Amino acid sequence: MTPNATDSSPALVAIDLGTSSFRAWLLDADGNALDSVQDDLGILKVPSGNFEAVFDDQLCPWFEKHGPLPALASGMIGSRQGWVEAPYVACPAGPKELADHLAVVRTSSSITLHIVPGMNYSDEGVPDVMRGEETQVAGAIADWQLSKVCVLPGTHSKWMLVRDGCIQQFKTFMTGELFSLLVEYSILGRLMEGREFDDAAFERGCRIVMESEGELLSQLFSARTLGLFEQLPLTGIHSYLSGLIICSEIREGLAKFPQLNEAQARPVKLIGDETLLRLYQRAFDLTKSKSELVKGHPVTWGLFEIARAASLIA
Amino acid sequence: MTPNATDSSPALVAIDLGTSSFRAWLLDADGNALDSVQDDLGILKVPSGNFEAVFDDQLCPWFEKHGPLPALASGMIGSRQGWVEAPYVACPAGPKELADHLAVVRTSSSITLHIVPGMNYSDEGVPDVMRGEETQVAGAIADWQLSKVCVLPGTHSKWMLVRDGCIQQFKTFMTGELFSLLVEYSILGRLMEGREFDDAAFERGCRIVMESEGELLSQLFSARTLGLFEQLPLTGIHSYLSGLIICSEIREGLAKFPQLNEAQARPVKLIGDETLLRLYQRAFDLTKSKSELVKGHPVTWGLFEIARAASLIA
């Protein structure tokens, strides 16, 4: 795969190794991708935890062809279960602080791999952590001085406040994981017929949350009873539950990030997989909060930005 | 098993057939149990849905010995997946209304089985249902005229308001099911070491909820991060999550049942399995709400009360 093959010289090998996927890009000195590889070898699937074998196997051709390029990785590769632990950096921190705390691995084939640390934040004594999302945000925020709230939906959704060049604080929501568990294993999944998107059902799930005050434990059951009483088509229960849970996250997040009341902080910046972002954007619309999709490749941009801050590239 | 063998005559066969258990009692004319049987034959385990075979098998000895006694059953046996459907009765309804809507099955051995209907309630257009809990409450509330709030913790916890001889409204919370799913399948279960009760961890989980406003989706993740940062022993995560989720139910319930602000409605009446009730009582204590355990056998009392209202017994 060669998304943007040009004649420019390679300058950085950028790697994102998460829980369930491996992606790498060969970037030129302007951050353009000259080549890329991807695989489903996330940290949980690396045989015997032998990261070096995966690294060699996937990236050897680039190093053989272009010499010992600098290499920078982000994501779960820096966790305790990853290749080498890159300890969390505390908020507030931005690309500069991340660059100052890179972990380093020297491979037996003499490649030096740098790993971006995760970040932690203490919210009134309760710790929170992330790993990988800080790099996506580093690639998405062109102006780090303005207050910006970024939302990265997913298994463990992250909301972040960026200001004065740093991620000031962030919060994790178990939205995606909870939704999957309820669909797969709970009584709510039993009545569901299919998973096709039903906009009216999604909106209804959102509205039930918007018209209430944090009543998730009881509202969840409505995904069963509305189906039982034929007040919702069984083909719409999946979307209804999705709206209900996503909107619960947004309700909690808006309360947690009052900075969104400041005009300069709006719109919310949505970062991640476009299909999921469209759902969040629909839910934000319903709550009358403006949101904006960040297009492009925040991960590669973020790795490029951090590599520059670390002087790995000119 | 013969809990209270006396010389009095049997007057009623009382049956509770739920999702996962079968229990029956031979009651005398004062509601005392002369004999009882139990099995794990809940509606999901009845072979080929042949309820009559289970009924005959379990209860035949009583009918053979004492003749065609009236028989009354409650629980999922009256659901669409049960023996015969006993359609929901709408709130407000009490023992009298339940007695007026019993479903009837005539078995091939000429026994007439009556089945207590479930109840439904519409909360601003959103339906809610229960089946079995109405009978427990019927057995627990001696004075149906006073406002009383009953809480029946479980897989799908129920809160009910009783007044003027009727269950006026009720609300289901998916507390128990959500807790089980998170322990079994989520990332939160992975750090847990054991399930022994840790009071300090339980209290901590309760407090984090009490000091906030409906932030369950984000608070759940603290059951992981507190463990990761060694701010909570791994042996306490199970209790911490339990406190967090139970107290979330109580926070939602207290908001949903403002009647608890009236002195006569207090204390909350807790009905069900004593081990679980102790946890709820601890959580209610922490929220400074008074609660009281209903002792004894609410299901048999409820079946007895409804049988009397239906004139099945004198």
DSSP conformation letters of B51-115: HHHHHHHHHHHHHHHH-S--EEEESGGGSTTSSS--PPEESSB-HHHHHHT-EEEE-TTS-EEEE
Q: Give yes or no for A215 touching B (CB within 8 A).
A: yes
Q: Count the helices and strands in chain B (H runs, E runs).
A: 10, 14
Check pLDDT > 70 for residue A228: yes
What pLDDT, on the 0 to 100 scale, is given for residue B103?
98
> Cα–Cα distance between B3 and B5 in angstroms, integer?
6
CA distance, residue B175 to nearest chain A CA (Å): 6
What pLDDT, on the 0 to 100 scale, is given for residue A69?
95
CA distance, residue A158 to nearest chain B CA (Å): 10
> Cα–Cα distance between B108 and B129 in angstroms, integer?
31
What pLDDT, on the 0 to 100 scale, is given for residue B6?
52
> Cα–Cα distance between B130 and B75 in angstroms, integer?
9
Mean pLDDT by 10 residues, chain B (314 residues): 62 92 95 94 84 93 95 95 95 96 94 97 95 94 84 96 94 97 94 96 97 94 96 98 98 94 87 95 95 91 96 93
Chain A nearest-CA residue for B171: A218
What pLDDT, on the 0 to 100 scale, is given for residue A17?
92
CA distance, residue A170 to nearest chain B CA (Å): 11
Q: Which CATH number fits domain B175-293: 3.40.50.300, 3.40.640.10, 3.40.50.1970, 3.30.420.310?
A: 3.30.420.310
Nearest to B174 among A175, A184, A220 (CB): A220
> Tokens 């991060």 belong to which residue?
B225
> Cα–Cα distance between A151 and A249 in angstroms, integer?
10
Give Cα separations from B46 to B23, B103, B113 (angstroms). 13, 20, 17
Radius of gyration for chain A, computed over Cα atoms and rounded to the nearest angstrom = 21
Q: Count the helices and strands in chain A (H runs, E runs).
A: 11, 14
Check pLDDT > 70 for residue A125: yes
Nearest to B217 among A174, A208, A229 (CB): A174
Phi, psi torsion values for B188, nearest 5 degrees? -65, -30
HEC states along A268-299? Answer: EEECCCHHHHHHHHHHHHHCCCCEEECCCCHH
CB contact under 8 A, A218 and B185: no
User: Cis link prior to A95 (omega < 30° from 0)?
Assistant: no
What pLDDT, on the 0 to 100 scale, is given for residue A34?
97
CB contact under 8 A, A173 and B221: yes
Chain B nearest-CA residue for A218: B173
Chain B nearest-CA residue for A183: B181
Distance of alpha carbon A118 from its chain centroid, rounded? 12
What pLDDT, on the 0 to 100 scale, is given for residue A141?
86
* CATH number listed for the domain at residues A10-143+297-309: 3.30.420.300
Residue numbers in A near B230 (CB within 8 A):
none
Q: Give yes or no for B85 touching A (CB within 8 A).
A: no
Written as six digits, the tokens of A143 are 């102006």
CA distance, residue A190 to nearest chain B CA (Å): 13
Residue numbers in B near A228 (CB within 8 A):
127, 129
Three-state SS at A20: coil
Residue numbers in B near A248 (CB within 8 A):
216-217
β-pairing, A89-90 vs A119-123, is: parallel
What percent of chain A stands above pLDDT 90? Answer: 83
Helix (H) or strand (E) holding B167: strand B166-173
CB contact under 8 A, A181 and B177: no
Three-state SS at A209: helix
Interface test with B, best of A122, A185, A218, A226 (most B CBs within 10 A): A218
Check pLDDT > 80 for residue A169: yes
Residue numbers in B near A232 (CB within 8 A):
none
CB contact under 8 A, A217 and B255: no
> Cα–Cα distance between A288 and B81 in angstroms, integer?
43
Helix (H) or strand (E) holding B32: none
CB contact under 8 A, B128 and A225: yes
CB contact under 8 A, B175 and A217: yes
CA distance, residue A114 to nearest chain B CA (Å): 24
Give Cα separations from A235 to A221, A223, A245, B217 (angstroms). 17, 12, 17, 25
CB contact under 8 A, A222 and B255: no
Interface test with A, best of B221, B237, B254, B257 (most A CBs within 10 A): B221
Q: Give yes or no for B230 touching A (CB within 8 A).
A: no
Chain A, chain B: beta-carbon pairs less than 8 Å apart: 123
Give Cα separations from B309 to B15, B75, B134, B160 (angstroms). 17, 18, 14, 21
Residue numbers in A near B241 (CB within 8 A):
none
What pLDDT, on the 0 to 100 scale, is given for residue A189?
93
Nearest to B217 among A129, A185, A249 (CB): A249
Q: pLDDT confidence of A2, banded at 50, 70, 90? A: very low
> Cα–Cα distance between A49 and A61 in angstroms, integer?
22
- Which amino acid belongs to residue B231? Q
Three-state SS at A117: coil
> Cα–Cα distance between B169 and B212 in angstroms, integer?
27
Chain A nearest-CA residue for B123: A222
CB contact under 8 A, A218 and B174: yes
The CATH fold of domain A173-293: Nucleotidyltransferase; domain 5 (3.30.420)
Say if B10-143+297-309 and B175-293 have the same CATH topology.
yes
Helix (H) or strand (E) holding B294: none
Q: Give yes or no for A191 touching B (CB within 8 A).
A: no
CB contact under 8 A, A178 and B248: no
Check pLDDT > 90 for residue A40: no
Check pLDDT > 90 for residue A174: yes
Domain extents in chain B? 10-143+297-309, 175-293
> Cα–Cα distance between A85 and A87 in angstroms, integer?
6
Packing angle, helices A274-286 and A199-210, rounded to 10: 50
Q: Give yes or no for B279 touching A (CB within 8 A).
A: no
Mean pLDDT of A41-59: 88
Mean pLDDT of A51-73: 94
